[in-house]
Amino acid sequence: MNGVQADGTADEDNIDVALPKSLPLRDWISRFAKTATPSAQVGMVVGRVDKTYLEKASRVALSLAEQLAKQYDANPADLTMDVCVDNAVVTDTSKGEASFGEASDISSGNDASSPQDERAIIAWLGRVYYELFTQKPFPSPSPSSEESEGTPGEASFDCALNIKEAEDDGQEPDDQNRRQKQRRVVDDGTQQRHHDLSRLPNPARRLVSDMLENESFGSGGLFRHDEAVASLSDVVCDVRQMVQDPKSYLHDSILMRWEPVIPEDRMYGRNDELRQCLEMARKVSESTEHSQSAIMISACAGTGKTTFVREVRDRLEGKGWQCLDVKFGQEVQPLIQIASAFDRFLTDNVVHGPNDVVQRRIKADIVTAFDSGGGIEVLGQLVPTLRTMVAPNERAEIQTQPFGVRDAPASTCRINRLFGILLRIISNERPIMVSFDDLHNSDISTIELIQSMIESIDEYYINEELDGSGYSHVLFLGCFRPHEGANHCPVAEKIQQMCSDTNLNQIELQGLTCEDVNAMVSDSLLYPRRLTKSLAGLIFRKTIGNPLHIREMINSLATENLLTYSLSKHEWRFDLELIELRTVTGESINALCVI
C-alpha cells in the first residue's frame, strides 16, 4: 500500500522495487518522505523519522563518509568536491551506496576550488546528514541574529534534547524554559534546526549536532565545543556502528544503558590469529588425502583463549565442520574428560543425529576397525555410547572387567591407538575440529594421547578395509597457559616437546590493542567510540589490554561511581584525572604480575 506497512513503517521491499538503480540524493530523500505517515515513529514522539528509513539513510551516510575519508587521507589537496546534498548521488539504491560528484557550479556555500580544512568538510557533511536523516531542508540563518549566551554544545544537542523531552511529556515548555532556549539559540534557523533534530534518536541527533559544531566560530577557529567531531574517521566509525548494530547505536533513543554491560560472547581483536586458523582449516578440508593440522595457542590468564577457540569453532561450524571440545579442569581426571567429550559427540551427532545413512556407515566402520581384539569392549568402558551403538552379538568376545583410569587392563599405548582409530572414523564424513582447552590442567599421559591422535591421522593404514571409506580431515586446537614460575613443570615441558616433535603451528595471544579496548568499552556502554576513546586509552594503560582485567576495571569504575550515566543529558560521565589516581586493587596487582 504505497510502500507503507500496517504498523506505519515503510515497506522496504516495495520501495526498493519502485526505485531506479541510481538516484540523486535529494530525490532519494523525497521518495521516502512521501511514503512516511504521521504514525511512523521510533519511540514515543509522533512524527519521529521512520525506523526503516533511518537504517537505509545510515547506509547512505556511511558510503558518503567513507568516500570523503578515503580521499582526504590519500591527499587532502585533491578533495575539492562540493559537499552538499545536490551534489550527491545514490549510485545503488538497493545497497545504499552513494558518492559526491566532482566540483560543480552548485552554490553550496563551501569553497570547492581550494583544499578544505577537515573540520570544515565535517561541518558541510553534517549539513548533508541533517537533510538526510531529518528529511528536512537545512534552515538558512535569519539576517537578524542574537548572540548566544551558552556554549556551542548547549546550542545544539542539549537544546534539541530539551525540545524532545518536552514533547515526550506531552507538554509545552513553560515560559522560563522557553526563555532559556531562546537565549541558547543563535537565530531562527538554529531554532528550526533544533526542532528538526529532536525528531531523531539520540545517537543520530548527537552525531549531526557534533558535526555541525565545527562551523561554530568559523572554519579554523581556535575554540570549538569539546565533543565536536574532529576527524572524518570518527564520522565513519560512528555511522558504521549504526549500520552494524542499529538496535543499539541508532534506535536506542530514550534511556540507552544505565550501567555497563560487557558482551560475554563477543571476541575483540585477534583478526590475524583468526585468519591464520581459518586458512589452515581451509587447507585441511580441501586436501585430497588424509590431512591434519595442529595449532597450539599459548596465552596468559584472562587473555581470551577460550573466547578465541569459540570464535574459530563458530566460524567452522558455519562452513559445515563438526566440532569436538575438551576442556580440562582440576576436579576430573584428564582421560575421563577426553572420553566424555567423545561420548557426547557420538550421542549428539551419531546416535541422535539426523542422518541415518551416516549413522549406519560409522557403526559399520567401528565394527570393522574394532572387530579384532575386542576394541569396542575395551574403549566402550571409557566411551559407553560405543557399546550402545553396536549390538552385543556384533562385538568380538573378550574377557574384561570394569576398570578405572589407572587400573585399565589395556595398555596406555593401546588406548591411545583406539582413540586415534575412532577419530579417523568420525572424521571421514565431514572435517572435524578437536579443541583441547586448558592443557596446563592435564597430565603427561594425556599429552601423549593427544600426540598419538595427531600422528594417527597421517597413518595411511589403520585397517585396509577402511581405506576406501573416505579421507579424514582434522584440525587440532590446543590452548595452554605458559609456565611462568621458576619451579619445574613436567606438563609444560611435555607440551613444548610435543610442539617440537610434531612440528605444530604455534600462536601466542597478546593483550588487546588500544583500538580493540575502545571497541570493548564502547560496546559495554553503547556509546560512540569517538566519545569513549579517552577512557579506553586510560583503561588500556592500566590493564595492558588484558580482556579479563578490562572487564573488572569497567565494572569497578561503575561501582565506585567513577563512571556514571546522566539520564538528563543522555551521556556517560567520567573524570579521567580521578580514574588515573585510582589505586589498583591487590587482586589486580597479582593478576598483572602473572602477565
Residues 317 and 444 reside in one and the same domain: yes
Determine, yes or no, domain membership for 585: yes
| Residue at grid coordinates 592443557 | 439
For the record, the C-alpha cell of 96 comes out as: 545504499
| pLDDT score of 424 more than 60 | yes
Tell me the C-alpha to C-alpha distance, in Å, between residue 458 and each of 292, 421, 450, 472.
Answer: 7, 11, 14, 9
Distance of alpha carbon 9 from alpha carbon 19, whole angstroms: 17
Residues 244 and 297 reside in one and the same domain: no
Distance of alpha carbon 200 from alpha carbon 369, whole angstroms: 67
Q: Greater confidence, 362 or 528?
A: 528
| pLDDT score of 225 more than 70 | no
Report the CATH number that the domain containing residue 435 is assigned in CATH.
3.40.50
Residues 209 and 144 reside in one and the same domain: yes
HEC assignment per residue over 378-446: HHHCCCHHHHHHCCHHHCCCCCCCCCCCCCCCCCHHHHHHHHHHHHHHHCCCCCEEEEEECHHHCCHHH
- What would the mean pLDDT of 58-81 be, rounded to a whole number? 89
**Is beta strand 432-437 parallel, antiparallel or unpaired with respect to 473-480?**
parallel
Determine, yes or no, domain membership for 286: no
Determine, yes or no, domain membership for 258: no
Amino acid at 75: N
* pLDDT at res. 8: 41
Domain boundary among 434, 469, 498: 498
* pLDDT at res. 468: 46
* pLDDT at res. 546: 94
Count of the separate structural domains present in the chain: 3
Domain boundary among 469, 498, 527: 498
pLDDT confidence bin for 437, thresholds 50/70/90 = very high
Residues 350 and 468 reside in one and the same domain: yes
Q: Give me the torsion for CA of 163, 169, 171, 177, rounded to 10°.
A: -40
Report the CATH number that the domain containing residue 122 is assigned in CATH.
1.10.510
Residues 120 and 229 reside in one and the same domain: yes
Determine, yes or no, domain membership for 50: yes
pTM here is: 0.78
Domain boundary among 222, 249, 276: 249
pLDDT in tens, 1-54: 444 444 444 444 444 446 788 999 999 998 887 655 444 444 434 456 688 899
| Cβ atoms of residues 231 and 155 within 8 Å | no
| Cβ atoms of residues 439 and 479 within 8 Å | yes
pLDDT in tens, 466-476: 444 567 889 99
Beta-bridge mates of residue 89:
24, 99
How far out from the chain centre does Cα 287 lie? 31
- What would the mean pLDDT of 136-144 be, rounded to a whole number? 71
Determine, yes or no, domain membership for 1: no
Determine, yes or no, domain membership for 270: no
Residues 526 and 464 reside in one and the same domain: no
Reference 405, options 415, 396, 420, 390; nearest CA is: 415
* pLDDT at res. 338: 94
* pLDDT at res. 265: 77
Residues 56 and 176 reside in one and the same domain: yes
Q: Greater confidence, 406 or 499?
A: 499
| pLDDT score of 583 more than 70 | no
pLDDT confidence bin for 235, thresholds 50/70/90 = very high
> Residue 107 is part of which domain span?
12-249
Q: Taking all residues of the chain, what is their mean pLDDT, rounded to a whole number?
A: 77
3-class secondary-structure state, position 505: strand
* pLDDT at res. 249: 87
Residues 407 and 474 reside in one and the same domain: yes
| pLDDT score of 218 more than 70 | no
For the record, the C-alpha cell of 112 comes out as: 570547492
* pLDDT at res. 340: 94
Residues 189 and 302 reside in one and the same domain: no
pLDDT in tens, 363-377: 888 887 776 556 777
Determine, yes or no, domain membership for 505: no
Residues 460 and 386 reside in one and the same domain: yes
Residues 448 and 485 reside in one and the same domain: yes
Determine, yes or no, domain membership for 543: yes
pLDDT in tens, 95-129: 999 999 875 544 455 554 444 688 889 999 999 99
Residues 72 and 216 reside in one and the same domain: yes
